Structure 1
Amino acid sequence: MTSAETNSSHEQHPTSLGKSISEDELSEVLRGIHAENLASYEELLQQPPESNLSLFWDIVVVTAGDAQQQHCYESRINQKLELGLIPSCARYHVIADPPRSNIGSGGSTCFVMKTLLEQYSAEFLSTARVLLIHAGGYSSRLPHVSTRGKVFMTLPQANSPQGIQILELKLVLYLHLLRTMPPGVFLTSADGIELFASKSPFPSVAKPRTITALAHPSSMHIGSTHGVYLLQDPEGLVAADRELRPKDQSALLLNCQQFLHKPSLEIKQNAVYTDSCYYFDPETAIILANIYPTLHPECDLEAWADILFFQDSDSGSGSSQDSDAISSDPHHQGRQIMKRVLQETGISLDVMVLNASKFYHLGTMQEFLTGVCTDTAFMSELHIHNVVRGIAKVQGAAVFATTSPAPATKIVENVDHSTNIINSPVYIENSSVPLAGSIHPNTIIVDTDLPNGAIIPNGTCIFTLQLQADQFVTFTFSIKDNMKKTTHFTFSDNGIDALKRLAIFEHVPVSAMLTREADPPLGCVGDLSLWTAPVFEIAATKVDSVRMALDRLYRIRKFQQDKEIGVGQPLPTRTETSAPRVMGWVSMKDAARIARELEL
């Protein structure tokens, strides 16, 4: 029996599975496959819409959290179609979750299937190949893309100064799989990047009533915090394939005996695999569509843990969540409905083991920065090329500075501002960095024009949103901040001092980043987080907004220096000038919503 796990963090490909393989050799294989897919994609873009293209999706579905996000996504997709950035031969749909619901990606999967069956004939869907990209939600852990959504997050690209967005990348990644993929639905997430190769062709015949999950080699530790598949492999095919060189390894289709969610390490065998995306046939799609009307609007089901666990028929075998008693909780009810229906209708779970593969997760600021700036394997495989090592620039980023590919542990700061030093890793998108100032390592700068003398501390994410014609806000977070951690506030809490219980830059009270002269932000009542607290100043111009943010960063660094928190970063001498007028206060959550509305 072999084990395989689901949903991991950044790239997981252990070299200790079987004999040690060369990471460089595997990367070269994956880089070659991706290059072929990129070339095929460019050919697709040149084809007229009426072409009978067998190597592309019939339908591409992107999910959205609500109607506003749906309209924004549709607008961006239409722009891409007009610019010829995505193939026009496919039918693109953005499907939003129903109003006033919280169905999660699992419930959304069922709702999408129901919606497609209402729009297309069953006959057409029985022959169609559908790509389903889960992109609903507002990416609070990647706040610099909260307005546009993770599916439109930009990665640098060697042959394009504008980079490539996740939507286009998803359309590229699976082209070699499409050569043999039978009709059905291929489900993936917007923040996962899957690279895989197979010497033999991928399976081309659909198994009726079957979900097939892709499995990638991973570390043993990750399995204890995610899902694990116990596979039926009596002939030892996985181990034998693992002994081959990456270019000779092939996709192996095995039956899953049991799914375990967050099992103990003792349960697992020597081989651990990460699951990233999965396929299901048209019959299974209809079954999922019929499940949707039975789900509660607040079921909040996850498309992986709450759907794939149906294979676990023994509730006492190590699954921490499969002891669900009969409960009125919508989530537990939904899990039980999903499990019962999939078992009663005879759905089976297969796993396609891909030894020559990697899975990358770009769901947090740290993971994103690592991927585009420092992970040389990831950058090589995805054709990411930075002119200066560790400094990624996309979409009109103007850098008028001395760039320094210094290690992240080295902090260089010019107190006299005679030169600008940029210390990698740094990601700069649609922004300008001037000749005088200093950018410390581990920084994300998006839609922000920094003035002379700007100093951006280590580990900062800074970005600007336009809310109205004369309203701007520039946000500043640490890339390590927990955006969802809540603190409770009551009406008895008074003024800025009450905000000392909410931390930013990990350990700095929010009260310390605000000026004592400022009017206390209103609306700080209830369970608040960095995502929901209205503690960021609105300015009348983009310039004033950036200046407010830099003043905020100075106060944060002053607090850190006084409390000796983190690394020592000397503060420059500042000349006090009159502060821009604060027009109001806004939370990250509300600002993203307002900015989306302005975009429409």
Structure 2
Amino acid sequence: MHVEETTDCLLSLPAAGVTGFKPWNPASAGFFVTSDPPGSQLGSGGGTAHVLHQAWQASPARQTGGFEAWLEASRKLIVHGSGQSRRLPAYAAEGKPLLPLPLLPARAGQAPDQRLIDFQLDAYSRILRHAPASYRVMITCGDVLLTNPAFTPAFPDADVLIVGIRSTPDEGSRHGVLFCRNAATGALDFFLQKPPPEKTRVLSDSHAFYLDTGVWLLSARAVSVLVRTCGWSSETQTYAGGAPSHYELFDRFGLALGASPVAPDPQISALSAAVLPLPAGRFFHFGTSRSIISSAVELAQASERAHAVGLGSAEAHEHCLSMNADLRVPLTGANRLLWIENAVIPADWTLRDRHVLTGIPANTWALDLPSGVCLDCIGLRAEAGVCLRVYGFDDPFRGALTDPATRWMERSFADWLKARGLSCQQAGLAPDIDIQDAPLFPRLAADDPRCGPLLAWMTALSPTPDSASLRLWLDAPRVSASDLLCRADTAARGAARSDAVDAVLAGQPAQAWQKRCLSLDLEAVARRVEGAPAAALPPPLEAQGSNVSELAAVHDVALRDRLTSAVARPNRAAGRLRDLLVAKLAVAPVSPRRAAGEDQIVWGRAPARLDFAGGWTDTPPYCLEHGGRVVNLAVNLNGQPPVQAFARVCEKPCLVIRSIDLGVGEVIETTEDLLAEERLGSGFGIARAAFRLAGFDPAFNASGRGAPLAQFLRDTFGGGIELTLLAAIPKGSGLGTSSILAATLLGTLGDLAGLHWNEQDLFTRTLALEQILTSGGGWQDQVGGMVGGLKQIESAPGLQQKPVIRWLPTSMLDAAIADKRFQLYYTGLTRVAHNILGEIVKGLFLNDAERIRTIEAIGLNADFAAEALQRNDWPVFVEAIRRSWLLNRMLDTGTNPAEVQAIIDRVSPWLAATKLTGAGGGGYMLLLTDTPEQGARLRRELLDNPPNGRARFVDVSISHSGLEITRS
């Protein structure tokens, strides 16, 4: 079986970014951060070798073992972000991975101070977590985000695995392109860098081709080859010359890969290489001033709305993004391609188009910015004042100062000097110096009244003579873009940004706060408010009246309850959602009338539910906001439907409830008795709630029924009712027993009382029943038991959940059950799902990012499992079960207690995949093997050595009938 491992996140940044690095959320605290050696140009391959070496040297493991042993101890996820960032000056010092991103619509669990690295870590962890253990290192680019709204395909086995996406020959001419002769296996034939479109079109006749996303997974063998190529000696555990040599991963290493490499190398070409194609993958670039805007807007549009949260539609249409900012200038249709972040823009500024404005303090500068001019203000460590960095929106920031092609503020630098009557010599600039190294940016106190005139003089297309500003620019301390990579005070910038985030958060108007309640990670907001005295929340949504999103109000209540830390306070969010759902379910009152003869018995029976993938996506509030996706199977146990109910009319006007499996019973004679218990687990709580929904509670009776219960039974219904239950499944089994029992009872009572409920009626009332019982469960259990067969079940977002069922073929499972590759085992351990559910749902009310992202992945795995079943692909179905088990454990650490792990360990030599059914923690366990022989050996082991006196195998067969209601 695949072994779950920890992953070390290794982040390379510019030197200034490393110095000022500060965790902005709990996840970021787990990074190892380093930068390339000063003045070095290591390339992507040498940079990878350097990051690994630095992380190993900083690790305690260095004292007990070598580099190779450290590499095997955990996986490494590398994010490269230490380049010069010439085309994105605003974030050059901090590093492109730390680029702030605006809140996206329709995406829950976003941090109020989220960065590009947060999205990268989520996207790449989704891939790495399911990769075979042989892949030790994942390499990614810090200015790229790869998204994949679908499941990650099954992994090919190779030394080098490159993640690819479908693209066009024209797009491929600007990137690396992967060519595979056999798309089914993914084996790489060769790799080309920026091939001409014509060449790719010709090769496409014989090859499938994919765009290289820059996401590479390497085995230990491949890492060894890479670091040796960069000068590593495993004997001395050092690099020749003390540091890795310059080496390009994409331009040299990649060209030597594949069955037919274009630049063979004896060591590299001996490595096996393959492509992992992501059919739904998308590639977003954040490497330039232009691309950060276009990519952020495209991400927002991918979230199903045309504009980012907090921006008007006109602004979004023109690609204007403002975050963590005090923007007082009204934007118009003339403003387009704006990025304003961590900045104060007073009303007396004039903005046009193509501006990136960052780090700007409160000011009285009254700037009139020409089109395409950008401004960044950043301090230097241990030095007063801020550097006024002005540049052009599309400046490449490359070239000698005297070269006419070298541009600054989108015009020739030579022309800029000439327009101000200056020469390089007068400006103190070496003529042949690269503009990146030229000291152009003056440092002044932020409140210096000369800042405004100086900036106006620097940015003007045709400056008027201003000797004071000229002299100030010549005399002020000036720094270069290269200087800022080392000397910028990124810690101070981070602190200013944090204050801006707090100010924006506290100042949210009600309409904007509603949207943010649906999109923000409210647990992160709570931690922020608790940890920062200046942080505060907007007024509660409850005080805003009726014009408030119902679900937003639920989240808002959950956040405020979280901050009160009142242990005794009831879960107001859960109660509010429960009331909302019961109202929205619109359970129509009914008029129960006796519809069975005095000698007739109505018999309801239903199978159990085995969940394969997608569980938790069907649970409110998640399914209400994101929809649900589940794959489950209806099964009989030991040859019979395990959930049964028997109902008959009796002479005495009362309700009698008996349980065969519990051996207890009770008599209900008054309405007060019927309403006395509503809690799940209160003996006959489910049966009581079923009677209520069947119209024996005045609240659900069409006439309002003012008469006492006994009188209603005698005079209107036509007698009392005896209801006998049987749940031939141990408590806490994980087979959906309580929900299936609820549906079975409702179906049985509906038939007895002539209510003529159809499948959708039963489904709606079962959901209402569970809300009455405060269990808060989802819909997959009742659908899994009510509807027979193997099913893929989906629901759309909305308060009224209406699952759509698609049946899947069962032939593969029938065969696997018959030859013992698929077995069901009762562990003898129990755990109540209601308790697990409560803790996870609390996190969902708070949009806790970790839980939200995990449940998103669980939903994608349902699609993965369904495809495997449709294709009759047993190995991929085994992988889907393996992924389900991993994701369930990520969601709730109590899913796999030590007693369960002991069972797994005992049969691990033969086990291909396993998972506990339902919420886990005990109950039933799916045991899957690759071969019938392994299944037999596994079965013999547990039969000979049971973990406890209750543990046992259970014969399972697929139920194609689902819930059945018949009469004697």
Q: What TM-score does the superposition give when structure 1 sets the normalisation length? A: 0.66
Structure 1 match to 2:289: 365
Matched, 1:213 2:117: no
Matched, 1:341 2:267: yes
Match of 2:488 in 1: 595
Q: Give the counterpart letter for 1:587 in structure 2.
A: S
CA distance in 2, matches of 1:392, 1:512: 35
- Within 5 Å, which residues of 2 pair with 1:421-460? 423-449=335-361, 451=364, 453-460=366-373
- SS for the counterpart of 1:462 is strand
Aligned counterparts of 2:53 and 2:347: Cα–Cα separation in 1? 56
More contact order relative to length (CA 8 Å, sep ≥ 6)? 1
Would the alpha carbon gap of residues 109 and 598 (structure 1) be closer, same or farther in structure 2, given more than 3 Å must change?
A: closer
CA contact (8 A) 2:146 2:284 kept: yes
Match of 1:174 among 124, 134, 156: 124
Query: For residues 486 and 518 of structure 1, what CA distance do their matches in structure 2 show?
Result: 11
- Contact 1:521/1:535, CA 8 A, preserved across alignment: no
Which among 444, 449, 468 is matched to residue 539 of structure 1?
444
Pairing 1:86–2:27 present: yes
Q: Deviations over 1:202-230 (max 9, x none)?
A: 42x8x36x100000122221223433222
Alignment partners' CA distance in 1, 2:288 and 2:38: 27
Pair 1:353-2:277 in alignment: yes
Structure 1's 171 and 224: CA in aligned 2 closer, same or farther, altered over 3 A?
closer
1:444 deviation in Å?
Answer: 0.7
Tell me the amino acid that sits aligned with residue 212 of structure 2: D
Letter in 2 for 1:477: Y
- Report the 3-state secondary structure (helix = DSSP H, G, I; strand = E; otherwise coil) of the residue aligned with 2:101: strand
Listed as ranges, the gaps of 5+ residues in structure 2 are 233-239, 494-968
Following superposition, the deviation at residue 356 of structure 1 comes to 0.9
Aligned equivalents of 2:92, 2:390: Cα separation in 1: 14
Give me the whole-angstrom Cα distance separating, in 1, the residues matched to 2:308 and 2:70: 38
Change (3 A) 1:301 1:84: same
Q: Distance in 2 between matches of 1:303 and 1:153?
A: 24
Displacement after TM superposition at 1:548 (Å): 4.7
Say how many residue pairs are matched.
452
- 1:306 aligned residue (252, 260, 273): 252
Query: Could you tell me which amino acid in structure 1 is paired with residue 320 of structure 2?
Result: I
SS of the residue aligned with 2:130?
coil
- 2: CA distance between counterparts of 1:291 and 1:157? 42
Who wins on radius of gyration, i.e. which is larger? 2
- Does residue 1:399 correspond to 2:327, yes or no? yes
Larger fraction in helix: 2
Q: Distance in 1 between matches of 2:390 and 2:152?
A: 49
CA contact (8 A) 1:57 1:131 kept: no
Q: 2:190 aligns with which of 234, 258, 278?
A: 258
CA distance in 2, matches of 1:382, 1:124: 47
Amino acid at match of 2:99: M
Structure 2 equivalent of residue 188 of structure 1? 140
1:368-407 Cα offsets, whole Å, 9 max, x none, are 1222346753565999534232332223x10113222x2x
Native 8 Å contact 1:429 1:446 kept in 2:
yes
Q: Which of 378, 393, 411 is the equivalent residue of 1:465?
A: 378
Determine if contact 1:442/1:460 at 8 Å carries over to the other structure.
Answer: yes
Once the two structures are TM-superposed, the CA of residue 99 in structure 1 deviates from its matched residue by 5.4
CA contact (8 A) 2:258 2:272 kept: no
Moved more, 187-196 or 92-101: 92-101
Q: 1:60 to 1:384 in 2, by over 3 A?
A: farther
Q: Is the 8 A contact 1:472 1:542 kept in 2?
A: no
The alignment partner of 1:187 has SS state of strand
Q: Distance in 1 between matches of 2:71 and 2:444?
A: 51
**Which is richer in strand?**
1
- Equivalent-residue separation in structure 2 for 1:225 and 1:274 (angstroms): 10
**Cα distance change of structure 1 residues 523 and 123 upon mapping to structure 2, 3 Å threshold:** same
Q: Quick one: structure 1 residues 385 and 302, their matched pair in 2 at CA, closer, same or farther if it must change by over 3 Å?
A: farther
Q: Is the 8 A contact 1:144 1:463 kept in 2?
A: yes
Matched residues in 2 for 1:96 and 1:576: separation?
42
What letter matches 1:259 in structure 2?
F
How big is each residue's C-alpha offset from its partner over 1:128-176, in whole Å with a ceiling of 9 and x where there is no partner? 2211111122212111111111121111124768442122222222343
Encode CA deviations 1:258-277: one digit per residue, 9 max, x unaligned: 12233333332456421111
Query: CA–CA distance in 1 between the matches of 2:259 and 2:110?
Result: 50
Say which of 114, 117, 131 aligns to 2:77. Answer: 131
What is the CA distance between 1:447 and its match in structure 2?
0.9
SS of corresponding position for 2:186: strand
The offset of 1:554, in angstroms, is: 4.8
Letter of the structure 1 residue corresponding to residue 181 of structure 2: Q
Does the alignment pair 1:155 with 2:101? Answer: yes
Report the more deviating stretch, 369-378 or 257-266: 369-378
1:485 alignment partner in structure 2: 399
Q: Give the stretch that moved more between structures: 112-121 or 214-223.
A: 112-121
Contact 1:223 1:272 in 2 (8 A): no
Task: Judge conservation of contact 1:386–1:392 (CA < 8 Å) in 2.
Answer: no
Asked if the contact 1:196–1:354 (Cα under 8 Å) also holds between the matched residues in 2, the reply is yes
CA distance change for structure 1 residues 471 and 522 in 2, over 3 Å: closer, same or farther? Answer: farther
> Pick from 510, 517, 531: which aligns with 2:416?
510
Root-mean-square deviation (CA, aligned residues, Å) is: 3.7
Identify which of 539, 550, 564 aligns with 2:455. Answer: 550
Output one character per residue of 1:229-274: Cα deviation in whole Å (capped at 9) or x when no partner. 22022xx64xxxxxxxxxxxxxxx5000112233333332456421
Question: How far has the Cα of 1:64 moved from its partner?
Answer: 4.1
- Displacement of 1:550: 3.0
Distance verdict in 2 for CA 1:381–1:125, change over 3 Å: farther
1:511–1:189 Cα change, 3 Å? same
Shift of 1:351: 0.4
C-alpha contact (below 8 Å) 2:87/2:394 kept by paired residues: no
Answering whether residue 180 of structure 2 is matched by residue 275 of structure 1, we say no
Q: Give the letter aligned to residue 426 of structure 1.
A: L
Distance of aligned partners of 1:283 and 1:384 in 2 relative to their CA distance in 1, 3 Å threshold = farther
- The percent identity for this pair of structures is 17
Q: CA deviation at 1:472?
A: 2.4
1:510 positional shift: 2.8
8 A Cα contact 2:301 2:307, kept in partner = no
Contact 2:351 2:370 in 1 (8 A): yes
Q: Distance in 2 between matches of 1:381 and 1:61?
A: 34
Show structure 1 runs of 5+ residues with no match. 1-53, 238-252, 323-335, 411-422, 490-499, 560-573
The answer for the alignment partner of 1:583 in structure 2 is 476
> How far apart, in 1, do the equivalents of 2:479 and 2:20 lie?
25
Rounded to whole Å, the distance in 2 between the matches of 1:368 and 1:463 is 15
Q: Which stretch of structure 1 is more off in the superposition, 458-467 or 160-169?
A: 160-169
Separation of aligned partners in 1, 2:399 and 2:128: 41
